[in-house]
Amino acid sequence: MTSTTDRVHAVVIEAIAESISVDPATIQPDTAFEDDLGIDSTELIGIIVDIETALQVSLKGVDYAGLKTPADLVAATLARLRVAEPA
Amino acid sequence: MTRDVVITGIGVVLPKTRTVEDLWAHGTAPGHGRAPTVERLSPRLHGSRIDETVLDNALPPRLARKLDVFTVYALVATQSAIADAGLDLAAIDRTRCGAFVGNCFGGWRFTERELRHLHTQGPRSVSPFQATSWFPAAPQGQITIVHGLKGFSKTYMADRMSSLVSVAAAARQIRQGQLDVAIAGGAESTNTDFVRAALEHVAAANGEPAPHDSGFAVSEGAVFLILEDAAHARARGARVYARVQAFAMRNAPCGPDQYGTDPDTLQGTMRRVLGNMKADIVLPDASGLARVDACEQAALAAVCPGVPTLRPKDRYGHAFGAEGALDVAFASLMLHRQRSLPGTAPDDSAPPFAAPDATPATIERVLINACAMGGGAGSLVLTKET
């Protein structure tokens, strides 16, 4: 993984853990938001805004309903960062 | 067939008050060391406030961050009421148990903070929980979710009458056989700039004089009761505080920010609930607004002459959406313990409702009054369980 991927992954896991008050170590990339963590759509919006703030990135227009796991959220965030800052 | 409705549990969260015994201690011994403090909050407003830090760990943090404090108060008071009633929710039919909540203002603590975020940091900084935390039915939703209640439930907004109406509505559902058990009461948070400004307007619009002379006082918190079908309570061996006897409500329209000043309205509701019976004690609305209280005193002089009129609410100030349920709690305790709370001290600067000449030998019947802006008036009678 690149360092950007590592950082995004860490921010995503931290935002989720903080939002639902759990130990970050219990959250894996393929942990299901709804079935494993009971995260509802309103909590997901809060998590997305926390990620936007931490990484200074906009996730407006992402298909939020399609975000089912932390890996989905990392991928969506990385896609936006790559658009914003082409290598 | 109609059924008898009894009160089997009381839960409170008020300034310096977390238990029934705290409530009784503050009611019976005003001014003792741990009593709530009624202080100046703004020019025309006195009141007492809850120290929210004592509730920091009362709920799981994942839940608490989604809620305004008025819903936190409601959930904590509800939990206390269920425990006080010795009610095992897993052992009852929860399709026949509902939640009935009175509230006036909604969640302005949460909203003020998020409005500040909106104007200083932009729309993306507003909590997505703003909508669900603010609305007055939030406590009803959280109570039913947390406790898995599936029975008919409702939230009532009727200004100072709100939780007298919610308790009466719950009793009606049980009486008519729609529910066996109800969690009924009210919740309010008044410790916000917006609500204080609104209440200042109310005081001025209702003719309060120079600020230092105003008797208008507000409080906050939540009070919830467990109401049960009497047979349901008997079958599980529950302790019964009191019986919910009758409720009546009327409206004589006046200005939307005005309280009615025609004694006929309240006289009508008091006569309706008392019939030809006599109250042993009255817990008046006692708004602290001089001309509104003069109206209530005239109504009381006509319908309940010489009946002791007690204002335990003065220990805190008026809790608006939670006040009706608070008076129901005080009345329930007096009926169950067969002890009257003390009257108002002679040096009290609040309006002179009739002080008790003597404590009634037995307390069979307590009348509770409440009024609402726009001309509403309501009366509820609780009786001693026989």
- What residue spans define the domains of chain B? 5-235, 245-383
Give chain A positions within 8 Å (CB) of B60: 21
Give chain B positions within 8 Å (CB) of A45: 128
Q: Tokens 């006289």 map to which residue?
A: B267
SS3 of chain B: helix, strand, coil, percent, to 5: 40, 20, 40
Using one digit for the tens of pLDDT, what is the confidence trace for B136-187? 999 999 999 999 999 999 999 999 999 999 999 999 999 999 999 999 999 9
* Closest Cα in chain A to B129: A42
pTM score of the predicted model? 0.93
Please give the structure tokens belonging to residue A59.
């996730």
Give the amino acid at B139. P
CA distance A8 to chain B (A): 20
Mean pLDDT, rounded, of chain A: 93
Confidence of residue B343 (pLDDT cuts 50, 70, 90): confident
Whether B135 has its CB under 8 Å from any CB of chain A: the answer is no
Provide mean pLDDT across the span B61-65. Answer: 94
B181-188 vs B97-102, strand pairing mode:
parallel
Using one digit for the tens of pLDDT, what is the confidence trace for B191-241? 999 999 999 888 888 887 666 667 789 999 999 999 999 999 999 999 999
The radius of gyration of chain B's CA atoms, rounded to the nearest angstrom, is: 20
Instruction: Among B62, B66, B110, pick the best mutation site for testing chain A contact (most A Cβ within 10 A).
Output: B62
Q: Is B366 helix (H, G, I), strand (E, B) or coil?
A: strand
Task: Give percent above pLDDT 90 in chain B.
Answer: 80
Q: Which of residues 13-42 of A touch B (CB under 8 A)?
A: 19-21, 42
Whether B194 has its CB under 8 Å from any CB of chain A: the answer is no
CA of residue B98 relative to chain centroid, distance: 18
Read off the DSSP letter of residue B159.
Answer: T
d(CA B20, CA B230): 22
Q: Is B226 helix (H, G, I), strand (E, B) or coil?
A: strand
pLDDT at A71: 97
d(CA B336, CA B243): 10
d(CA A53, CA A61): 16
Using one digit for the tens of pLDDT, what is the confidence trace for A36-51? 999 999 999 999 999 9
pLDDT at B344: 59
pLDDT at B356: 58
Whether B357 has a pLDDT exceeding 90, the answer reads no
CA distance B59 to chain A (A): 12
- Number of neighbours of residue B326 by Cβ within 10 angstroms: 29
Task: Give percent above pLDDT 70 in chain A.
Answer: 95
Confidence of residue B373 (pLDDT cuts 50, 70, 90): very high
d(CA A13, CA A73): 10
What ipTM describes this predicted complex? Answer: 0.85
CA distance A46 to chain B (A): 6
Read off the DSSP letter of residue A55.
Answer: H
Whether B122 has its CB under 8 Å from any CB of chain A: the answer is no
**Cβ within 8 Å, pair B129-A19:** no
d(CA B220, CA B197): 15
Confidence of residue A82 (pLDDT cuts 50, 70, 90): confident
Whether B348 has a pLDDT exceeding 50, the answer reads no
Note the helical H segments in chain A. Answer: 3-20, 33-37, 41-55, 70-84
Instruction: Among A16, A18, A19, A21, pick the best mutation site for testing chain B contact (most B Cβ within 10 A).
Output: A21
CATH topology of domain B5-235: Peroxisomal Thiolase; Chain A, domain 1 (3.40.47)
Size of interface A-B (CB pairs under 8 A): 19
Q: Would the CATH topology of B5-235 be identical to that of B245-383?
A: yes
What angle in degrees, to the nearest 10, is found between the helix axes of A41-55 and A70-84? Answer: 40
d(CA B377, CA B357): 27
Please give the structure tokens belonging to residue B242.
């009191």
- H or E element that contains B243: strand B242-251
Please give the structure tokens belonging to residue A70.
């932390």
Provide mean pLDDT across the span B72-78. Answer: 98
Whether B254 has a pLDDT exceeding 60, the answer reads yes
d(CA B242, CA B364): 10
Question: Please, are residues B49 and B220 in contact by the beta-carbon 8 Å criterion?
Answer: yes
pLDDT at B43: 79
pLDDT at A4: 92
Using one digit for the tens of pLDDT, what is the confidence trace for A68-81? 999 999 999 999 99
CA-closest candidate to residue B129, choices A32, A63, A44, A14:
A44
Q: Tokens 């109570």 map to which residue?
A: B143
**Cβ within 8 Å, pair A21-B62:** yes
CATH for B245-383, options being 3.30.565.10, 2.30.38.10, 3.40.47.10, 2.70.180.20: 3.40.47.10
Find the length of chain A. Answer: 87
DSSP secondary structure letters along B3-43: --EEEEEEEEEBTTB-SHHHHHHHHHSTT-TT----EEEET
Using one digit for the tens of pLDDT, what is the confidence trace for B267-323? 999 999 999 999 999 999 999 888 899 999 999 999 999 999 999 998 999 999 999
- H or E element that contains B182: strand B181-188
- H or E element that contains B265: helix B263-274
The per-residue b/e assignment along B21-37, b for 16 or more CB within 10 angstroms, e otherwise, is ebbbbbbbebeeeebbe
Confidence of residue B1 (pLDDT cuts 50, 70, 90): low
Provide mean pLDDT across the span B2-24. Answer: 96
Strand order in the sheet with B221-229: B154-156, B97-102, B181-188, B221-229, B5-13, B242-251, B376-383, B365-372, B281-283
Give chain B positions within 8 Å (CB) of A20: 62
Domains and CATH numbers, chain A: 3-82 (1.10.1200.10)
